[in-house]
Protein backbone atom coordinates (compact mmCIF):
# COMPACT_ATOMS: atom_id res chain seq x y z
CA UNK A 1 0.00 0.00 0.00
CA UNK A 2 2.28 2.74 -1.24
CA UNK A 3 1.37 6.15 -0.01
CA UNK A 4 2.88 9.50 -0.76
CA UNK A 5 4.28 11.83 1.88
CA UNK A 6 1.77 14.24 3.36
CA UNK A 7 1.97 17.97 3.44
CA UNK A 8 3.66 19.72 6.33
CA UNK A 9 1.68 20.81 9.36
CA UNK A 10 -0.40 23.94 9.36
CA UNK A 11 1.10 27.24 10.45
CA UNK A 12 2.82 26.86 13.82
CA UNK A 13 1.50 28.41 17.01
CA UNK A 14 3.12 31.58 18.27
CA UNK A 15 3.61 30.14 21.73
CA UNK A 16 4.28 26.74 23.18
CA UNK A 17 2.24 25.21 25.97
CA UNK A 18 3.15 21.91 27.59
CA UNK A 19 0.80 19.60 29.45
CA UNK A 20 2.71 17.86 32.24
CA UNK A 21 1.08 14.66 33.47
CA UNK A 22 2.60 13.41 36.70
CA UNK A 23 2.20 10.78 39.35
CA UNK A 24 0.51 13.40 41.54
CA UNK A 25 -1.49 15.60 39.19
CA UNK A 26 -1.48 17.76 36.07
CA UNK A 27 0.47 20.96 35.47
CA UNK A 28 1.08 23.13 32.43
CA UNK A 29 3.93 25.31 31.24
CA UNK A 30 3.27 28.21 28.87
CA UNK A 31 5.97 30.08 27.00
CA UNK A 32 6.22 33.62 25.75
CA UNK A 33 6.60 34.19 22.01
CA UNK A 34 10.38 33.77 22.16
CA UNK A 35 10.12 30.56 24.25
CA UNK A 36 12.49 32.25 26.65
CA UNK A 37 10.09 32.92 29.51
CA UNK A 38 7.94 30.14 30.89
CA UNK A 39 5.11 30.16 33.41
CA UNK A 40 4.10 27.10 35.39
CA UNK A 41 0.41 26.60 36.23
CA UNK A 42 -1.31 23.99 38.35
CA UNK A 43 -1.80 21.61 39.88
CA UNK A 44 -5.06 20.18 38.67
CA UNK A 45 -6.16 16.76 39.89
CA UNK A 46 -3.71 17.02 42.78
CA UNK A 47 -3.02 13.53 44.09
CA UNK A 48 -4.36 11.79 41.00
CA UNK A 49 -2.04 9.59 38.95
CA UNK A 50 -2.26 11.21 35.52
CA UNK A 51 -0.73 8.86 32.97
CA UNK A 52 -1.37 10.98 29.89
CA UNK A 53 -2.93 14.32 29.00
CA UNK A 54 -3.41 15.50 25.43
CA UNK A 55 -4.94 18.29 23.44
CA UNK A 56 -7.03 17.74 20.31
CA UNK A 57 -5.33 19.16 17.20
CA UNK A 58 -8.76 19.27 15.51
CA UNK A 59 -10.33 21.30 18.33
CA UNK A 60 -7.49 22.80 20.37
CA UNK A 61 -9.65 23.78 23.35
CA UNK A 62 -10.54 20.12 23.90
CA UNK A 63 -8.24 18.22 26.26
CA UNK A 64 -8.36 14.71 27.70
CA UNK A 65 -6.58 13.37 30.77
CA UNK A 66 -6.32 9.72 31.82
CA UNK A 67 -6.29 9.45 35.60
CA UNK A 68 -6.75 7.20 38.57
CA UNK A 69 -5.72 7.42 42.21
CA UNK A 70 -3.91 4.96 44.42
CA UNK A 71 -7.20 3.51 45.61
CA UNK A 72 -9.84 4.50 43.07
CA UNK A 73 -10.37 2.94 39.66
CA UNK A 74 -9.37 4.48 36.34
CA UNK A 75 -11.23 7.18 34.50
CA UNK A 76 -10.86 9.86 31.84
CA UNK A 77 -11.51 13.56 32.32
CA UNK A 78 -12.45 15.96 29.52
CA UNK A 79 -12.13 19.70 29.18
CA UNK A 80 -13.74 21.76 26.44
CA UNK A 81 -12.27 25.07 27.64
CA UNK A 82 -8.53 24.43 27.28
CA UNK A 83 -8.19 22.89 30.73
CA UNK A 84 -10.02 25.44 32.85
CA UNK A 85 -12.81 23.03 33.86
CA UNK A 86 -13.07 19.27 33.57
CA UNK A 87 -15.87 16.68 33.41
CA UNK A 88 -15.51 12.98 33.99
CA UNK A 89 -16.28 10.54 31.17
CA UNK A 90 -19.73 9.00 31.53
CA UNK A 91 -18.34 5.61 30.56
CA UNK A 92 -14.55 5.32 30.90
CA UNK A 93 -12.58 2.55 29.17
CA UNK A 94 -13.57 -0.80 30.70
CA UNK A 95 -13.39 -4.36 29.44
CA UNK A 96 -16.56 -6.27 28.63
CA UNK A 97 -18.43 -7.65 31.61
CA UNK A 98 -17.80 -11.37 31.74
CA UNK A 99 -14.41 -11.13 30.03
CA UNK A 100 -12.69 -11.45 33.40
CA UNK A 101 -10.40 -8.56 32.50
CA UNK A 102 -10.09 -5.32 34.47
CA UNK A 103 -8.58 -2.04 33.29
CA UNK A 104 -6.00 -0.97 35.86
CA UNK A 105 -5.29 2.34 34.19
CA UNK A 106 -5.69 4.11 30.89
CA UNK A 107 -2.13 4.63 29.76
CA UNK A 108 -2.24 6.27 26.33
CA UNK A 109 -4.58 8.66 24.50
CA UNK A 110 -4.51 9.45 20.78
CA UNK A 111 -6.76 11.81 18.78
CA UNK A 112 -8.46 10.17 15.81
CA UNK A 113 -8.22 11.08 12.17
CA UNK A 114 -8.72 14.69 11.07
CA UNK A 115 -11.86 13.63 9.17
CA UNK A 116 -13.35 12.07 12.32
CA UNK A 117 -13.82 14.92 14.79
CA UNK A 118 -14.55 13.69 18.29
CA UNK A 119 -12.92 10.31 17.74
CA UNK A 120 -10.20 9.30 20.20
CA UNK A 121 -8.36 6.07 20.95
CA UNK A 122 -7.15 4.85 24.34
CA UNK A 123 -4.65 2.15 25.25
CA UNK A 124 -4.79 0.57 28.66
CA UNK A 125 -2.90 -1.53 31.16
CA UNK A 126 -3.31 -4.47 30.86
CA UNK A 127 -3.35 -4.25 27.09
CA UNK A 128 -6.70 -3.12 25.77
CA UNK A 129 -7.79 -0.83 22.94
CA UNK A 130 -10.75 1.53 23.21
CA UNK A 131 -12.44 4.13 21.03
CA UNK A 132 -14.60 7.13 21.77
CA UNK A 133 -16.74 8.78 19.10
CA UNK A 134 -18.01 11.58 21.34
CA UNK A 135 -14.88 13.44 22.37
CA UNK A 136 -14.11 11.13 25.28
CA UNK A 137 -17.52 11.10 26.97
CA UNK A 138 -18.12 7.38 26.41
CA UNK A 139 -15.66 4.65 25.42
CA UNK A 140 -16.22 1.31 23.69
CA UNK A 141 -13.77 -1.56 23.53
CA UNK A 142 -12.46 -2.40 20.07
CA UNK A 143 -13.41 -6.06 19.94
CA UNK A 144 -11.23 -6.64 16.90
CA UNK A 145 -8.32 -6.37 19.29
CA UNK A 146 -9.69 -6.99 22.80
CA UNK A 147 -11.54 -10.15 21.76
CA UNK A 148 -9.10 -11.27 19.07
CA UNK A 149 -8.52 -15.04 19.39
CA UNK A 150 -4.75 -14.45 19.25
CA UNK A 151 -4.63 -11.59 21.77
CA UNK A 152 -3.51 -13.70 24.69
CA UNK A 153 -0.82 -15.35 22.57
CA UNK A 154 0.40 -11.93 21.45
CA UNK A 155 0.37 -10.28 24.89
CA UNK A 156 0.53 -13.08 27.46
CA UNK A 157 -1.77 -13.16 30.46
CA UNK A 158 -2.73 -9.98 32.26
CA UNK A 159 -0.59 -10.96 35.26
CA UNK A 160 2.52 -11.69 33.19
CA UNK A 161 3.44 -8.12 32.36
CA UNK A 162 6.08 -5.74 33.60
CA UNK A 163 6.08 -4.52 37.23
CA UNK A 164 4.13 -1.35 36.43
CA UNK A 165 1.72 -3.34 34.27
CA UNK A 166 1.70 -4.38 30.63
CA UNK A 167 0.74 -1.49 28.38
CA UNK A 168 -0.85 -0.75 25.04
CA UNK A 169 0.66 2.47 23.72
CA UNK A 170 1.78 4.32 20.60
CA UNK A 171 -1.62 4.26 18.89
CA UNK A 172 -0.93 5.77 15.47
CA UNK A 173 -3.61 6.83 13.00
CA UNK A 174 -2.47 7.20 9.40
CA UNK A 175 -3.22 10.82 8.45
CA UNK A 176 -4.23 9.62 4.94
CA UNK A 177 -6.50 6.76 5.99
CA UNK A 178 -8.57 6.64 9.19
CA UNK A 179 -8.81 2.86 8.95
CA UNK A 180 -5.07 2.35 8.96
CA UNK A 181 -3.83 2.00 12.53
CA UNK A 182 -0.70 0.89 14.35
CA UNK A 183 -0.30 0.01 18.04
CA UNK A 184 2.66 -0.85 20.22
CA UNK A 185 2.50 -3.19 23.18
CA UNK A 186 4.89 -3.77 26.04
CA UNK A 187 4.99 -6.63 25.73
CA UNK A 188 3.57 -7.95 22.55
CA UNK A 189 5.16 -5.94 19.77
CA UNK A 190 3.94 -3.63 17.02
CA UNK A 191 0.68 -4.52 15.26
CA UNK A 192 -1.09 -3.07 12.24
CA UNK A 193 -4.74 -2.87 11.23
CA UNK A 194 -5.98 -1.73 7.81
CA UNK A 195 -9.68 -2.02 8.66
CA UNK A 196 -10.17 0.35 11.56
CA UNK A 197 -9.20 -2.21 14.17
CA UNK A 198 -11.41 -5.10 13.06
CA UNK A 199 -8.33 -7.28 12.61
CA UNK A 200 -4.64 -7.00 13.39
CA UNK A 201 -1.39 -8.52 12.29
CA UNK A 202 2.05 -8.49 13.91
CA UNK A 203 4.64 -6.18 12.36
CA UNK A 204 7.89 -7.07 14.07
CA UNK A 205 10.14 -8.63 11.44
CA UNK A 206 13.73 -7.54 11.92
CA UNK A 207 13.25 -6.49 15.55
CA UNK A 208 15.28 -8.33 18.14
CA UNK A 209 13.65 -9.88 21.19
CA UNK A 210 16.77 -11.26 22.80
CA UNK A 211 14.97 -11.85 26.10
CA UNK A 212 12.78 -14.51 24.41
CA UNK A 213 13.67 -18.18 23.82
CA UNK A 214 13.38 -17.49 20.10
CA UNK A 215 15.25 -14.21 19.50
CA UNK A 216 13.31 -13.39 16.31
CA UNK A 217 9.73 -14.31 17.11
CA UNK A 218 6.70 -13.12 15.18
CA UNK A 219 5.42 -11.29 18.27
CA UNK A 220 6.19 -10.88 21.96
CA UNK A 221 8.59 -7.95 21.46
CA UNK A 222 8.88 -4.92 23.69
CA UNK A 223 8.48 -1.68 21.74
CA UNK A 224 8.75 1.28 24.10
CA UNK A 225 7.65 4.04 21.75
CA UNK A 226 6.64 4.12 18.08
CA UNK A 227 6.21 7.30 16.01
CA UNK A 228 5.48 8.30 12.45
CA UNK A 229 8.37 10.15 10.85
CA UNK A 230 7.64 13.86 10.51
CA UNK A 231 5.80 14.53 7.25
CA UNK A 232 6.02 10.93 6.08
CA UNK A 233 3.64 8.35 7.57
CA UNK A 234 5.18 5.71 5.32
CA UNK A 235 8.12 5.73 7.71
CA UNK A 236 7.97 4.56 11.33
CA UNK A 237 10.59 4.89 14.04
CA UNK A 238 10.66 2.68 17.10
CA UNK A 239 12.55 2.85 20.39
CA UNK A 240 12.53 -0.73 21.59
CA UNK A 241 13.78 -2.64 24.61
CA UNK A 242 16.31 -4.08 22.16
CA UNK A 243 17.47 -1.03 20.23
CA UNK A 244 16.23 1.64 17.84
CA UNK A 245 14.55 0.77 14.53
CA UNK A 246 13.16 2.28 11.34
CA UNK A 247 10.53 0.82 9.02
CA UNK A 248 9.86 2.16 5.51
CA UNK A 249 6.52 1.00 4.14
CA UNK A 250 5.34 -0.82 2.21
CA UNK A 251 8.25 -2.88 3.50
CA UNK A 252 7.58 -4.97 6.58
CA UNK A 253 11.11 -5.50 7.91
CA UNK A 254 12.45 -3.09 10.49
CA UNK A 255 16.02 -1.89 10.12
CA UNK A 256 18.04 -1.50 13.30
CA UNK A 257 19.42 2.05 13.39
CA UNK A 258 20.81 2.22 16.93
CA UNK A 259 23.96 0.27 16.22
CA UNK A 260 26.01 3.41 15.60
CA UNK A 261 25.22 4.77 19.05
CA UNK A 262 28.30 4.86 21.35
CA UNK A 263 28.83 1.47 22.97
CA UNK A 264 29.20 3.13 26.40
CA UNK A 265 25.73 4.65 26.03
CA UNK A 266 23.86 1.93 24.19
CA UNK A 267 20.59 2.14 22.32
CA UNK A 268 18.08 1.38 25.07
CA UNK A 269 15.59 4.04 26.08
CA UNK A 270 11.92 4.86 26.42
CA UNK A 271 10.98 7.98 24.41
CA UNK A 272 11.48 8.93 20.78
CA UNK A 273 10.40 12.16 19.13
CA UNK A 274 10.54 13.31 15.55
CA UNK A 275 10.98 16.59 13.76
CA UNK A 276 7.53 17.78 12.62
CA UNK A 277 8.56 18.11 8.97
CA UNK A 278 11.89 16.38 8.42
CA UNK A 279 11.40 12.60 8.14
CA UNK A 280 15.12 12.00 8.68
CA UNK A 281 15.29 13.80 12.05
CA UNK A 282 14.59 12.13 15.38
CA UNK A 283 15.69 12.32 18.99
CA UNK A 284 16.06 9.64 21.69
CA UNK A 285 17.13 9.65 25.34
CA UNK A 286 19.32 6.63 26.10
CA UNK A 287 19.14 4.92 29.48
CA UNK A 288 21.11 2.24 31.27
CA UNK A 289 19.79 -1.14 30.18
CA UNK A 290 22.61 -3.24 31.61
CA UNK A 291 22.55 -5.91 34.34
CA UNK A 292 19.40 -5.31 36.40
CA UNK A 293 18.22 -2.50 34.12
CA UNK A 294 18.75 0.61 36.27
CA UNK A 295 16.87 2.67 33.63
CA UNK A 296 18.81 5.79 34.57
CA UNK A 297 20.93 8.14 32.50
CA UNK A 298 24.03 6.09 31.59
CA UNK A 299 26.77 6.94 34.09
CA UNK A 300 24.58 9.62 35.64
CA UNK A 301 25.33 11.88 32.64
CA UNK A 302 22.07 12.43 30.76
CA UNK A 303 22.02 13.30 27.08
CA UNK A 304 19.71 13.46 24.12
CA UNK A 305 20.92 11.87 20.90
CA UNK A 306 19.79 13.23 17.57
CA UNK A 307 19.96 11.73 14.12
CA UNK A 308 19.50 13.87 11.00
CA UNK A 309 19.91 11.03 8.53
CA UNK A 310 17.25 8.54 9.48
CA UNK A 311 19.38 6.83 12.10
CA UNK A 312 22.59 6.28 10.13
CA UNK A 313 24.48 8.49 12.56
CA UNK A 314 23.79 10.11 15.93
CA UNK A 315 25.04 13.22 17.66
CA UNK A 316 25.12 13.68 21.42
CA UNK A 317 23.24 16.77 22.65
CA UNK A 318 23.88 17.58 26.30
CA UNK A 319 24.63 21.31 26.36
CA UNK A 320 23.01 22.65 29.53
CA UNK A 321 22.16 19.24 30.97
CA UNK A 322 23.81 18.07 34.22
CA UNK A 323 27.39 16.84 33.70
CA UNK A 324 27.33 14.24 36.48
CA UNK A 325 25.29 12.61 39.23
CA UNK A 326 21.95 12.95 37.46
CA UNK A 327 20.19 9.62 37.67
CA UNK A 328 16.80 10.29 36.21
CA UNK A 329 14.86 8.59 33.45
CA UNK A 330 12.59 10.00 30.75
CA UNK A 331 9.47 7.88 30.31
CA UNK A 332 8.03 7.01 26.91
CA UNK A 333 5.36 9.73 26.79
CA UNK A 334 7.51 12.32 28.54
CA UNK A 335 9.26 13.81 25.49
CA UNK A 336 7.76 15.96 22.78
CA UNK A 337 8.55 18.50 20.09
CA UNK A 338 6.73 21.66 19.10
CA UNK A 339 5.92 22.94 15.62
CA UNK A 340 7.92 26.13 15.85
CA UNK A 341 10.97 27.03 13.75
CA UNK A 342 13.48 25.96 14.93
CA UNK A 343 11.74 23.01 16.53
CA UNK A 344 11.56 22.94 20.31
CA UNK A 345 12.47 19.72 22.10
CA UNK A 346 11.12 19.11 25.61
CA UNK A 347 11.28 16.28 28.10
CA UNK A 348 10.16 15.60 31.67
CA UNK A 349 12.09 13.46 34.10
CA UNK A 350 11.28 10.94 36.77
CA UNK A 351 12.76 13.46 39.22
CA UNK A 352 10.15 16.06 38.33
CA UNK A 353 12.12 18.40 36.09
CA UNK A 354 11.09 19.73 32.70
CA UNK A 355 13.95 20.47 30.31
CA UNK A 356 13.54 22.35 27.05
CA UNK A 357 15.47 23.36 23.97
CA UNK A 358 14.36 25.99 21.48
CA UNK A 359 17.13 25.17 19.02
CA UNK A 360 16.45 21.52 18.15
CA UNK A 361 18.48 20.16 21.04
CA UNK A 362 21.67 22.17 20.63
CA UNK A 363 21.21 23.53 24.15
CA UNK A 364 18.83 22.74 26.98
CA UNK A 365 17.73 24.52 30.09
CA UNK A 366 15.56 23.52 33.01
CA UNK A 367 12.05 25.01 32.68
CA UNK A 368 10.55 23.59 35.87
CA UNK A 369 11.73 21.52 38.79
CA UNK A 370 10.40 19.96 42.01
CA UNK A 371 7.34 18.49 40.32
CA UNK A 372 6.25 14.90 41.02
CA UNK A 373 7.53 12.11 38.81
CA UNK A 374 6.62 13.07 35.24
CA UNK A 375 4.73 10.48 33.25
CA UNK A 376 3.90 12.42 30.09
CA UNK A 377 4.65 15.69 28.35
CA UNK A 378 2.63 16.90 25.38
CA UNK A 379 2.39 20.14 23.45
CA UNK A 380 -0.96 21.86 23.64
CA UNK A 381 -2.36 24.84 21.81
CA UNK A 382 -1.06 27.95 23.56
In the complex, minimum distance from the CB of residue 129 to another protein, in angstroms, rounded to a whole number = 15
Residue 100 touches another protein, criterion: CB under 8 A? yes
Contacts of 251 (CB under 8 A, 6+ apart): none
Q: Is 260 in the site for another protein (CB under 8 A)?
A: no
Q: Which of 19, 31, 38, 95 binds another protein (CB under 8 A)?
A: 95
55, 62 Cβ separation under 8 angstroms = yes
250 binds another protein (CB under 8 A): no
Least Cβ distance, residue 369 to another protein (angstroms): 18
Q: Is 162 in the site for another protein (CB under 8 A)?
A: no
Q: Is 18 in the site for another protein (CB under 8 A)?
A: no
Residue 75 interacts with another protein (CB under 8 A): yes or no = yes
* Helix, strand, coil content of the chain in percent (nearest 5): 5, 40, 55
Candidates 43, 83, 92, 187: give the one binding another protein (CB under 8 A).
92
Is residue 41 near another protein by the rule CB under 8 A?
no
Least spacing, CB of residue 100 vs another protein, in Å? 6
Calpha distance 206→254 (Å, rounded):
5
C-alpha radius of gyration, the chain, whole number: 19
Question: In the complex, what is the shortest distance from the CB of residue 79 to another protein, in angstroms, rounded to a whole number?
Answer: 15
Q: Judged by CB under 8 A, does residue 85 bind another protein?
A: no
Select the residue interacting with another protein from 94, 171, 345, 367 (CB under 8 A). 94
- How far is Cα 309 from Cα 268, in angstroms, rounded to an integer? 19
List binders of another protein among 51-70 (CB under 8 A). 69-70
For residue 320, CA distances in Å to 16, 323, 357, 360, 368 come to: 20, 8, 9, 13, 14
The answer to whether the peptide bond before residue 216 is cis (omega within 30 degrees of 0) is: no
Distance, CA of 51 to CA of 377 (rounded, Å): 10
- Judged by DSSP in three states, 214 sits in coil
Alpha-carbon span 310 to 77, nearest angstrom: 37
320 interacts with another protein by CB under 8 A: no
Q: State phi, psi for 143 to the nearest 5 degrees.
A: -65, -30
Q: Which of 34, 98, 210, 250 binds another protein (CB under 8 A)?
A: 98
Which CB atom, from 89 or from 209, has the smaller least distance to another protein? 89
Q: Does 90 bind another protein (CB under 8 A)?
A: yes
Amino acid sequence: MARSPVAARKAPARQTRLLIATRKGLWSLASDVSRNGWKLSGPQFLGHIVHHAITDPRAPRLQLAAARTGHLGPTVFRSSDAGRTWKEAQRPPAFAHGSGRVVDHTFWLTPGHADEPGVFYAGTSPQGLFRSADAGATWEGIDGFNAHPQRKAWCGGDQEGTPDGAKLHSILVDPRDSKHLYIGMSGGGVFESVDGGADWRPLNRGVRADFMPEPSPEYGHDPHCVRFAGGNPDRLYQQNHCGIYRLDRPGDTWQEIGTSMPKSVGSVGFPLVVHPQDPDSLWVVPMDGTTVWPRTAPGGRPAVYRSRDGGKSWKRQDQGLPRSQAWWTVKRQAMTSDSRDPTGIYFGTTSGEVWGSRDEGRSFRCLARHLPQIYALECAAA
